[in-house]
Chains A and B, each alone.
Chain A
C-alpha cells in the first residue's frame, strides 16, 4: 500500500473488524491501540461521547428492525441480493483452510467484520501475496459499496470514520510482502 506497511494495514483491518462487529467502545478502543498515532487519535475522537449513541447508530445502520440501510454481509451485495449466497460458502472455505470457523453458526460467515478480521490474520501470518490478493479479490472489493452506504447514512462520527477508513483499505494497493 502506498501509505504504510503490512502491519499497519493489518492493524487497520483488525480495528475496522471490531468497528463492524461490536458496539462496545472499550473493545473498539483496544483495537485502535494498534493504529498509527494519527489514526488512533482520530478513532479516539470519533469514539468520544455517549456509548449509547454508538450502539443506537450501529443498530440503525446495520441491524434495524425497520430495515437497515447498510447490511454488512457480502452476499447481500451479490446478484441475488440475499444472505448465505456464494460469498458465505467461500468465506467459510477460507476460514477452514486456516483451521478456524465462525463461533456463531446461525449467522452468515461473510460479515464485513469477520472478513476484515480474517484478512488481518492473513496479513499478520505472512500469507503469500497471491493468497492475499485472492482473498481481497473475492471478499473485500464489495466493502467499497458498503463503505459508500455507511458514508451516506452514518450520522455518528465513528461510523463516518469507519466508512472512510474502509474505503481506503479497499482502495490501497497491496503491501509488499515485508
Chain B
C-alpha cells in the first residue's frame, strides 16, 4: 500500500507540518527558540550529610558535570567520587518515572505485580481514599509511615492527620548518641573540629573510607599538622591504615576500653580541672563518679577487649595530656552497633567532657547557624490533634527515645508480626529500602501483612515489589531547599539547594505529596490565611526573606551561598535538662527513670557460642552510601558485589580457600557468598559489605549481585531491648555471631 500525504492526514485529521509529524502531534511540536547557552548553578549534594556545595554546569536542560564549590565550609571546594557521579543517579535508566499501581493482588518477590501507569491525580485520590477509610475504621494507629521527619511540610501533614506511627532508621544509626548528648551536654554536636585537634581517638568510625568529605578534610588537615590518630577497630580499616596506631579490639567491647580510660583519667587526676569544675556537675557528684569508675581498671578492660592494660593506660594519659584531643562519636560509629552502644555513647561523652573539649577548639562543637523559620512559623496551623493509639515499634516503653521522637527499625517487624499483629492497615514508605533493616526478610513478612502499601522513591528498592502504589520521587539535583551547614559550621553558612534540571519524567517531591494529600485529608491545615492553598515555593520565598538571605529564593539561589562572618565564641552554658546550665557527667534524670546515671559495663547482645563461634561485622564500602548508589552505573564498575572477608588463619581452620563459597549462618538466617582472604581483620570475625543483594527482580545492574548482609542480623522486640539494658534505643545493627561453613560444590 502506498503511503501518501493524504493517508497520514486521514489518520490524524491534522494539517500543517509533514503528515508523519502531524500524526505524532502528541510527541513533537514546533521547535521553540534556540536553547539556553551553558550555565552554572550552585546547589548542594544530597548523597550524604556532608551536603557539599556544588557548582553544576547545565547545557540545554541537561546536567553536564558537577564540581565543588570553593566557599563551602564542608566540602571545601571538592566533591567525592559518589558526589561527582551524581549525574549517573539523576539519569539512572531505572529511575521510577511515573506513578504506578499494582493490578495483581498477590504479593511476593516472585509475583509479577502487573504494574500499570496511573496519573498523579488518580494516585493521590486513591491513597487519600484508602487512608481515610483506615482512619475512619481503625484510627490513626493503623497508619504506618516509614519516613524521615522531613521536610517540615510532610511532618505537618502527618501531625494534621494524627499519625502515631512514623518510624525512621535513626535507631540503627544514632538515636542513642543523640539522646545521651542531649542529657549530658545539651544537644548533639554534629561537628568536630578535627583541624585543630592534636590527638584523635576513633572507636569504630571508619571515617576515611566513609569519605564524607567534611570529616576527611578535617582529619587529613589535622594529621598534616602532626596530630596523632589512634584507631580501635576489629578490622584494619581504611582509617586504621591512615592512623598512627591500630588496635584490633574485640567486637562490641569498645565500652570497656572507654570506661577504663575514664578510670585512668580520674584516678590520676588528669582531667581538665577548670572545665570540669566550672561547666559540669562533677563537683556535685564527685564521690559517686569516682567510686563508680574505680571498678573499671585497665586490667579488667584487657580481659574484655584484648587491648593490653598498658596500652589503655598510655592512650588514656596521652588523650588527657596532648590537648586539644577528641574521641568523636558519629553515626553508626559505635552508636548503634551493639546492645551496649547507649552505654558507649554515655562513656565517650564523659571522655570528651573530662578533657574539656566540648564546644572548644579541637573538640566536638555545636553548629553555628542562622535561624530559618519552618512552615509552621510562616503559616501557623490550626491546633494539631493529640496523637492517640498504640506505637507499633514499642517505642512508648523507652521514655528517652519516645521524647526524642525517633523510631525503631530494629523492633518494627516484631511489632507488626507479634506485638500488634494486623494493627497496621496502610503504610507509606518514603525513600527507605528494606536493606536498611536488620533481618530484612522478617520486615518483608511484616509488610506483606499490610493491606495497602505506598512506596515513594527514586529507584526501585526491595519495598517496591510489595507496594500497591509506587510514586516517583525527585532527587536532590531536582529539589529546592535552604541547606544550613551543620556538620562543620564554626560560623553560619547557608547554601541554596536549587534544581539544576527540571524533574525527570513525572517525578515529584515529597512536599508536593504532603500538600496534595493534605488538601484531601486535612484541608484546614493546608490553607493560607486568605483561604488559598499553601504553596511550597511561596513558603520557601518567605523562609528566605525571614532568614535575611534575599527577597526571594530565586534571588538567593542566583548567589547560591552566604556565610556570616562571626567569631566562634565557645559555649559557657549548656542546655541540659534540669536547667543547671552545666554538662552532666552524672545524669540524675536517667536514674529517675530507671536507666544508669553513669555508664555501666554491659556485654553485647549476641556473644560467641559453640554453635555460633564467630563475630559478624559489616561495613559500608567507600563507594556506597546507604543502598542508593548500588545501581549507579559508574560506581557499579568499581565494586560490583560483596564477599565474606576472613583472616587466612581462620580460613585454614575452616578449610576455606580464596573464592570458595561459604555459608554464614546466625540464629536468624544464612547467606552464601565467596570468601575473600585478608590479613586485615581479627581471626575471630567475618566481614561483609553492606548495601548489596537487592531482591528487586529486574533492577538491572544491582539485582542478584551480592547478598544482603542484614539477613543474618537479628531484629528484636522492645522487651529484648530493655532486657539488654538498651535504654536509648540502639538498634544493635552489628550485634550478631555466626557459624561459617564451606559450601560443598
Contact = CB atoms under 8 A, between A and B. Distances in A.
A34 B7 contact: yes
Interface string B303-333: 0000000000000000000000000000000
- Across chains A and B, which 9 residue pairs bring their CB atoms closest together, nearest first? A7-B3, A67-B698, A67-B699, A82-B91, A83-B91, A76-B93, A121-B20, A71-B93, A65-B470
Given A65-B100, A107-B504, A11 B94 contact: no
Nearest to B460: A67
A7 B460 CA distance: 41
B504 A68 contact: no
Interface of A: 5, 7-8, 10-11, 14, 17, 21, 30-31, 33-37, 52, 55-56, 59-60, 63-69, 71, 73, 75-76, 80-85, 88-89, 92, 95-96, 99-107, 113-114, 117-118, 120-121, 124-125
A82 B21 contact: no
B11 A30 contact: yes
Nearest to A125: B18
A101 B633 contact: no
Contacts of B92: 82-83
B64 to A, nearest CB: 10
B574 to A, nearest CB: 48
A65 to B, nearest CB: 4
Interface of B: 1-5, 7-8, 11, 17-21, 23-24, 26-32, 60-63, 87-88, 91-98, 100, 103, 112-117, 460, 464-465, 467, 470, 472, 502-506, 633-634, 696-700, 703
A56 B698 CA distance: 15
B28 A124 contact: no
Task: Identify which of A10, A64, A118 gathers the most chain B CB atoms within 10 Å of its CB.
Answer: A64
A82 B27 contact: no
A68 B631 CA distance: 13
A56 B61 CA distance: 31
Given A60-B112, A82-B88, A100-B30, A105 B697 contact: no
Contact of A65 (B29, B460, B634): B460
Contacts of B98: 63
14 contacts: A7-B4, A14-B20, A31-B23, A52-B116, A56-B116, A59-B100, A60-B112, A66-B698, A83-B92, A88-B62, A99-B17, A101-B32, A102-B27, A121-B21
A95 B28 contact: yes
Nearest to A30: B11
A146 to B, nearest CB: 12
A89 B98 CA distance: 23
B2 A7 contact: yes
Given A82-B633, A88-B62, A120 B20 contact: yes
Given A31-B23, A34-B7, A65-B472, 7 more contacts: A14-B23, A17-B24, A34-B11, A56-B114, A64-B460, A67-B699, A82-B91
B541 to A, nearest CB: 23
Contacts of B634: 80
A95 B395 CA distance: 58
A96 B35 CA distance: 10
Given A63-B98, A65-B464, A75-B91, A37 B18 contact: no
A30 to B, nearest CB: 5
